[in-house]
């Protein structure tokens, strides 16, 4: 299957993408991984991306599209893939259609993870990171530490990242609504969108997604 995963910040896209890709035996292709791989390997596209990032500018669509195309052309993606973070806007969605069409391919589904805005804010703004080890992550509601402000694992100080503040989260949501949400309507016109609730335990959301994708493929 060739799947695009969409949803607002805090919907759990990265977590669900990893589980779904494993269950479907297809590669999980995330924008973040693409950028890190191209930059660390010093590819021409990675060098271009780094130039823009160092200048504090947004990486142009054509660079992101080029990275995605290169990754989709790899042998392990021949029978399908799950795209996470790409396409991010209409220009990228149209470019993806063009790339696939050139190879006689098309998307099978666009999985839309739906989460109420207040829940997104609650999920992200409630996160607390450990200063000693960033892999130790807590949540004031869903996974609180035994002692407030102290990491259970190593005793490090817990803090809220600047980009996890409620104000920043709401700004990120505004960007999502203006830039990414329009691709949902674009794909709805093609009859590709499958919307599921991303509320509940991780395993429940995964089961819901798999069932929806199986219905779509039937």
Residues tagged active-site: 13, 88, 127, 161, 172
Residue linked to tokens 């599921």: 196
Measure Cα distances from 25 to 22, 78, 90 in Å. 5, 12, 28
* Cβ-count burial 162-172 (b if 16+ within 10 Å, e if not): eebeeeebeeb
- CA 159 – CA 166 distance, rounded (Å): 14
- Strands 2-6, 81-84: pairing is parallel
Kindly give the residue spans of alpha helices, DSSP state H, lying in the chain: 13-24, 31-41, 44-54, 61-72, 90-102, 117-125, 166-175, 181-188, 202-217
């Amino acid at each position: 299957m060739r799947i695009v995963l969409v949803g607002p910040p805090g919907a759990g896209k990265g977590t669900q993408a990893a589980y779904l890709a494993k269950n479907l035996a297809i590669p999980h292709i995330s924008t973040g991984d693409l950028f890190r791989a191209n930059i660390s390997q010093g590819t021409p596209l990675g060098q271009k991306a780094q130039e823009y990032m160092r200048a504090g500018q947004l990486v142009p669509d054509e660079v992101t599209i080029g990275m995605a195309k290169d990754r989709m052309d790899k042998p392990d993606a021949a029978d399908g893939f799950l795209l996470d973070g790409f396409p991010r806007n209409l220009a990228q969605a149209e470019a993806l259609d063009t790339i696939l069409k050139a190879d006689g391919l098309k998307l099978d589904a666009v999985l839309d993870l739906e989460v109420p805005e207040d829940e997104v804010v609650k999920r992200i703004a409630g996160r607390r990171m450990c200063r000693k080890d960033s892999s130790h992550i807590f949540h004031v509601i869903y996974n609180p530490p035994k002692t407030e402000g102290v990491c259970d694992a190593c005793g490090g100080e817990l803090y809220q990242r600047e980009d996890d503040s409620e104000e920043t989260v709401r700004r990120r949501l505004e960007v999502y609504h203006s830039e990414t949400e329009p691709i949902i309507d674009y794909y709805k016109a093609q009859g590709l969108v499958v919307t599921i609730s991303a509320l509940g335990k991780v395993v429940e959301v995964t089961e819901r997604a798999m069932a929806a994708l199986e219905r779509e493929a039937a």
